[in-house]
Structure 1
Amino acid sequence: MPLKRPTGEALAREIAARTGYAFKDLRLLETALTHSSAVKATSNNERLEFLGDRVLGLIVADMLLKQFPEAREGDIAPRFNALVEARTCSNIGLEIELDKYMRADSALKSGGRRAGGNYLADAVEALVAAIYVDGGIDAARAFVLRFWEPLARLAIEKPANPKGELQEWIAKSSEARPAYAIEGREGPDHQPVFTVSVRVAGFEPAQGTGSSRRAAEEAAAAAFLVREGVWTAERGAA
């Protein structure tokens, strides 16, 4: 039988142990950890998620500008996108073990640990916002730097941009442009799987799947680059 989810002071203590931040407003913490699918919930974290996305973006952008003072915007932007994307936030949610503390539909939570899950990415953004509201920008910055700064330091190489690299590779030999089309969408609304094809005149199409249209397009572009020998299979799977 699973352990009962802690609430109140017990929840605040466990979250503080994992994040380094102790909440003063316990209702705010509860709201940040309540998904819209939670049964009988009177509030959820959607508004906090909206705010947290902006707070996270500001802090990560400031962090990168300080960490790479000589880098051009074109070199920083892909790093920024990689650090604030849903997959990164989901992984941080798993690292903190937020899935143990979330109020959400049981079916939603059962898939969260296996695949990260967008609901955990949303919860991480909501948590950033809750820390900001409860403790101010310095508290939010301390939390973000604790978990995101090591990831930025590990990103020695410019993060992969398969759609951009495919466009550049095609442009070297023709005026054709890659065309992306959704071939299918499966799964429930909270955890969809998109299948997208990319077509380029003179080449066979390639397909990719992902939890969003953008992710599926990137997977399709990566598959195209691997097939044509532009990328190694290892890079395409990264």
Structure 2
Amino acid sequence: MDAKEFSAHIGYEFKKLQLCEAALTHPSAARHTGARPFERLEFIGDRALGLAVSHLLFNAFEDHNEGFLAHRVATLCSKKQLLKIGQHWQVKKYLYAIGLQTDSANAIADTVEAVLGAIYLDAGFNAVLNVVERFWATDIMTTSNDMDSKSRLQFLLQGKGYPAPSYKIVDKEGPDHSPTYVVEASAIGKKALGTSTTKKFAEQNAAALLLDQIDESKL
């Protein structure tokens, strides 16, 4: 187990490295190290993850109801999702356990929650939110075909560490009772124009066109 290397690997620098060490010490090995109980970190990490995902979804899906949001939270906090993140983090390489397969699905998923719990205790909710936004953003963006273009664009960019896109009305055509809006969406040096009879849908159209310009693999 190398907590410092793991910390660098996930892009979060712990102020108290012992918290990271505790999160990477499975209960099977904790009695040999005196580390802070793994299960307590897992418990608070589970709650912090749920709140962070809920926060991100609440802001992304402004027009969707509680049932829609609850379903997405369940998906994005599931063991399957945690296993995916844990594999990306290479948890099995860093997890210290005795008499346990460190690549087991349960061990990896539990460790991801414990790490998030450690981050929460180390620096608070905003630190957890930043980590979740970076590593869950693509899955939040693709978790449903119902996500609108503006939300998909924002999560794509912020998930890669870029600022959120900006929108501005550059033209308004037609009579006052039936105008057509032209909105410019811009991000990472690219721009696209969208038109519609409402500002909201003009922004969506501009975002969709901007998404078409962006090659995600090159971000």
TM interval, short-chain normalised: 0.5 to 0.7
Q: Match for 2:20 among 29, 35, 52?
A: 29
Q: Match for 2:93 among 100, 114, 132?
A: 100
What displacement does 1:108 show?
2.1
- Larger of the two Rg values belongs to structure: 2
State the match for 2:8 in structure 1.
Answer: 17
> Could you report, residue by residue, the CA deviation over 1:5-58 in whole angstroms, capped at 9, with x for unpaired residues?
43xxxx31x223322110111111110111111262323311000111111111
Q: Contact 1:15 / 1:22 at 8 angstroms: preserved in 2?
A: no
State the match for 1:119 in structure 2.
Answer: 107
* TM-score computed with the length of structure 1 as normaliser: 0.57
Partner Cα separation in structure 2 for residue 24 and residue 105 of structure 1? 27
Partner Cα separation in structure 2 for residue 153 and residue 59 of structure 1? 15
Give ranges in structure 1 of 5+ residues lacking alignment. Answer: 159-238
Q: Contact 1:89 / 1:124 at 8 angstroms: preserved in 2?
A: yes
Partner Cα separation in structure 2 for residue 100 and residue 18 of structure 1? 11
Q: How does 1:8-157 map to 2 (within 5 A)?
A: 11-12=3-4, 14-38=5-29, 40-43=32-35, 44-109=37-102, 111-112=103-104, 117-157=105-145
State the match for 2:159 in structure 1.
Answer: none
The CA RMSD over aligned residues, in Å, is 1.6
What SS does the corresponding residue of 1:56 show, helix, strand or coil? helix
Give ranges in structure 2 of 5+ residues lacking alignment. Answer: 147-219
Identical aligned pairs, as a percentage?
38
Q: How many residues align?
A: 144
* TM-score computed with the length of structure 2 as normaliser: 0.62
Q: Contact 2:48 / 2:117 at 8 angstroms: preserved in 1?
A: yes
What displacement does 1:106 show?
4.6
Partner Cα separation in structure 1 for residue 70 and residue 90 of structure 2? 29
Q: Contact 2:23 / 2:118 at 8 angstroms: preserved in 1?
A: yes
